[in-house]
Amino acid sequence: MENKFKMIRKEIMELYTIKDVLRWMITKLNSSNVCYGQGTDNSFDEAVYILFSTIRLPTDIPEVFLSSRLTTSERKKISEKLSLRMFKRIPSAYLTKKIWFCGHEFFVDKRVFIPRSPISELIDDSFKSIVDIKPKKILDLCTGSGCIAISCAYAFEESEIDASDISIKALEVARKNVTLHSFSKRINLIQSDLFKDVPSKQYDLIITNPPYVDCKTLKFLPKEYRAEPSISLKACENGLKFIKIILKHAPYFLSEKGVLLCEVGKNIINLINLFPEVDFEIMNLKNKGNGVFCIKKEQLSKNQHFF
């Protein structure tokens, strides 16, 4: 492993400009076994992400800057991060400590799941296809880094938001992000095992991206995904363990016209097969499939005996 790191450092020292290093990084990533999907989905974006975060420049700099020469120190830092990405398969978001969600930058590290939820598409659209009115009280259940709660705070300026997670470490990251985005007065962070310690409020909207990777699948995930906290991924019972609990308790925390919005990924098929009588509304998303559903309080209450 040490020899591989040295080889990468030696190669990068033969290059000088941003564009040359960027081209070389793309080639290296293309020849490696890295897996994408945690913020980027191709070698070009991955290389841009690592390089520009390392030299602390925005990715949309004028083209003329691409001919700028990198310092020796900068090239060493880039080679180190690229080596960790290629040979140890550490996700780039953990290397740069940054990720973007709904157009906003967030701090992330190994304490949290890397934000990439398709729910971002619905937030960008202000949940127009889901709620009839602007939600004033929102709960982000299993908040992780806090990205969904914070993005909702931007989208709904008059909303009050509670964001809960079972992990103290995740809440530390969420608190950092809430502070960075100046939402400490509007977002209340709560340590809770699902609804256990959530205030007895009537929320207009409950959003949740709970763990839903079934135990068997988890073992065969790419190394990058297994670098994320297992507590944020693992769910037995065909990936539905926590979702069933959420469905059972959600109506007691929703206002009369309240809505539950939940990401379940490919397990949407398992969910429909398990509860064929329940009228789940599957979100038709443009970019990331159909792994998100919503259900109104009325439907949840009506079907409680199934959950």
Confidence category of residue 288, pLDDT binned at 50, 70, 90:
low
CATH of the domain at 67: 1.10.8
Q: What is the pLDDT of residues 143-185, one digit of tens each?
A: 999 999 999 999 999 999 999 999 999 999 999 999 999 999 9
CATH of the domain at 138: 3.40.50.150
Regarding whether 245 and 163 lie in a shared domain, the answer is: yes
Regarding whether 45 and 138 lie in a shared domain, the answer is: no
Number of domains within the chain: 2
What average pLDDT does range 203-207 have in this prediction?
98
What average pLDDT does range 131-145 have in this prediction?
94
- What DSSP letter does each residue of 163-183 carry, written as one string? EEES-HHHHHHHHHHHHHTT-
Mean pLDDT of the chain: 95
Regarding whether 275 and 158 lie in a shared domain, the answer is: yes
Regarding whether 302 and 198 lie in a shared domain, the answer is: yes
24 in Cβ contact with 12 (< 8 Å)? yes
Q: What is each CA distance from 16 to 23, 68, 74, 75, 104, in whole angstroms?
A: 12, 8, 10, 8, 31
Confidence category of residue 2, pLDDT binned at 50, 70, 90:
confident
Regarding whether 78 and 224 lie in a shared domain, the answer is: no
Classify the phi-psi angles of 271: left when phi > 0, otherwise alpha if psi is within -120 to 50, otherwise beta. alpha
Regarding whether 144 and 89 lie in a shared domain, the answer is: no
Regarding whether 292 and 259 lie in a shared domain, the answer is: yes
Residue 104 in domain: no
What is the structure's pLDDT at 88?
97
Structural domain boundaries, residue 196 = 110-306
What average pLDDT does range 297-303 have in this prediction?
95
What is the structure's pLDDT at 227?
97
Residue 101 in domain: no
Q: What is the pLDDT of residues 249-273, one digit of tens each?
A: 999 999 999 999 999 999 999 999 9
Regarding whether 180 and 75 lie in a shared domain, the answer is: no
Residue 102 in domain: no
Regarding whether 125 and 48 lie in a shared domain, the answer is: no
